[in-house]
């Protein structure tokens, strides 16, 4: 009960634009350093290199929320391209994750698709680096999938994310079946209405297992992004029972969360990709992480009293 209240509270805070704006000036505070790799590309690449040295691969995410103007959207796309170039030049083992709203989806679909094409062309030129479109809230879900399908006509280095809490997830997984869809599968991080999403965790977990199996059986690549030991055990069991190759899937976890489990999976020979966010727009991301695990509020309180 208390956990649910805190969860809703942090999700509510994550949408506060005033605090988001203020946080950009604060620098990484309140323990955000534990889950955000730094504010600059150089800091982010340094973080990625350290993780690579430990046997982990990465995906970089330049944090950005509340994009309201064409200039902001283009600037954000430029930053994604700079990140791709930095990945390529530094030869780190890393790809890119980004959000459609960051590229101007709320302003115009064409603006967003145009920015996405610029990014994918840059990624192609830089050794065909893979670009993952993170999935946002339900309001952006269908349009994101439509954009993905449009991009798949011209590019093979793009994929998106399917959220198991949505009733439509099974259909969405099926829609990429014949397109060699490379999907990240997650439980889902936003607060959604029971009209579109399973309200009970147990149902989300069951549907998550279902779509993991479905996508692997369809013969497509799955990035299984979870910190949940029960789901990880389920995937290992599927691997054994159904003979899926380790080339067909990878695990993913967020930077700073369950770092020992990340290392353990890599040592067991699994591909383990760490999602590494960076940039000064860290506030919304940080609040969503706290919502996932309100117990982590302890490190915020600690952060309040440390520099």
Residue numbers belonging to the annotated binding site for FAD: 135, 163, 187-189, 201, 226-227
What angle in degrees, to the nearest 10, is found between the helix axes of 17-26 and 283-292?
Answer: 110
Based on the shown chain and the rule CB under 6 A, indicate whether residue 29 belongs to the binding site for ligand FAD. Answer: no
Based on the shown chain and the rule CB under 6 A, indicate whether residue 188 belongs to the binding site for ligand FAD. Answer: yes
Based on the shown chain and the rule CB under 6 A, indicate whether residue 107 belongs to the binding site for ligand FAD. Answer: no
Among 50, 228, 264, 268, binds ligand FAD (CB under 6 A): 228
Residue located via tokens 């497509």: 220
Look at strands 158-163 and 131-133 and give their pairing.
Answer: parallel
The whole-angstrom separation of Cα 164 and Cα 113 is: 25
170, two tokens: 């099974």
Q: What is the CA radius of gyration of the chain?
A: 18
DSSP category for residue 249:
E
Q: How far is the CB of 171 from ligand FAD (least distance, A)?
A: 17
List the one residue out of 179, 168, 291, 272 whose CA is nearest residue 225. 272
Based on the shown chain and the rule CB under 6 A, indicate whether residue 254 belongs to the binding site for ligand FAD. Answer: yes
Question: Is 134 a catalytic site residue?
Answer: yes
DSSP category for residue 246:
G
* Choice between 115 and 226, CB closer to ligand FAD: 226
Among 34, 61, 132, 134, the one annotated catalytic? 134
Start-to-end CA span in the chain (Å): 33
* Choice between 123 and 223, CB closer to ligand FAD: 223
Based on the shown chain and the rule CB under 6 A, indicate whether residue 258 belongs to the binding site for ligand FAD. Answer: yes
Based on the shown chain and the rule CB under 6 A, indicate whether residue 177 belongs to the binding site for ligand FAD. Answer: no
The torsion of the CA quartet 174, 180, 185, 188, rounded to 10 degrees, works out to -60
Based on the shown chain and the rule CB under 6 A, indicate whether residue 148 belongs to the binding site for ligand FAD. Answer: no
Based on the shown chain and the rule CB under 6 A, indicate whether residue 187 belongs to the binding site for ligand FAD. Answer: yes
Number of residues this chain uses to bind ligand FAD (CB under 6 A): 23
Based on the shown chain and the rule CB under 6 A, indicate whether residue 275 belongs to the binding site for ligand FAD. Answer: yes
Among 34, 132, 184, 273, the one annotated catalytic? 184
Based on the shown chain and the rule CB under 6 A, indicate whether residue 210 belongs to the binding site for ligand FAD. Answer: no
List the one residue out of 153, 87, 155, 182 whose CA is nearest residue 126. 87
Q: How far is the CB of 257 from ligand FAD (least distance, A)?
A: 4
Query: Residue 58: which residues within 8 A CB-CB, separation 6 or more?
Result: 48, 51, 52, 92, 93, 94, 95, 273, 274, 275, 276
Residues annotated within a binding site for substrate: 99, 288-289
Among 77, 225, 266, 287, binds ligand FAD (CB under 6 A): 225
Which are the catalytic amino acids? 134, 184
Residues that bind ligand FAD in the complex, under the rule CB under 6 A: 134-135, 161, 163, 186-190, 225-228, 252-254, 257-258, 275, 289, 292-293, 296
């Amino acid at each position: 009960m208390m956990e649910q209240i805190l969860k809703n509270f942090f999700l509510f805070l994550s949408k506060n634009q005033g605090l988001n704006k203020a946080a950009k000036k604060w620098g990484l505070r309140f323990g955000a350093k534990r889950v955000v790799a730094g504010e600059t590309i150089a800091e982010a690449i340094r973080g990625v290199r350290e993780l690579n040295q430990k046997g982990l691969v990465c995906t970089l995410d330049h944090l950005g929320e509340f994009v309201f103007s064409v200039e902001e959207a283009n600037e954000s796309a430029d930053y994604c391209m700079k990140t791709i170039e930095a990945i390529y030049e530094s030869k780190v083992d890393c790809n890119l994750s980004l959000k459609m709203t960051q590229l101007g989806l709320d302003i115009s679909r064409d603006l967003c698709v145009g920015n996405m094409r610029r990014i994918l062309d840059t990624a192609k030129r830089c050794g065909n680096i893979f670009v993952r479109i993170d999935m946002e809230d339900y309001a952006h879900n269908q349009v994101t999938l439509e954009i993905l399908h449009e991009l798949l006509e011209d590019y093979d280095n793009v994929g998106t994310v399917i959220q198991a809490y949505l009733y439509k997830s099974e259909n969405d997984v099926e829609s990429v079946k014949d397109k060699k869809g490379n999907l990240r599968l997650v439980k889902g991080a936003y607060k959604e209405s029971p009209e579109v999403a399973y309200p009970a965790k147990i149902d989300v977990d069951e549907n998550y297992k279902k779509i993991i199996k479905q996508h692997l059986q369809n013969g497509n690549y799955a990035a299984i992004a979870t910190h949940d030991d029960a789901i990880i055990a389920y995937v290992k069991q599927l691997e054994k029972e159904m003979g899926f190759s380790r080339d067909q899937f990878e695990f993913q976890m967020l930077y700073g969360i369950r770092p020992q489990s990340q290392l353990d999976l890599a040592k067991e020979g699994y591909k383990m990709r760490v999602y590494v966010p960076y940039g000064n727009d860290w506030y919304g991301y940080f609040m969503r992480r706290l919502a996932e695990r309100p117990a982590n509020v302890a490190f915020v309180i600690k952060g309040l009293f440390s520099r």
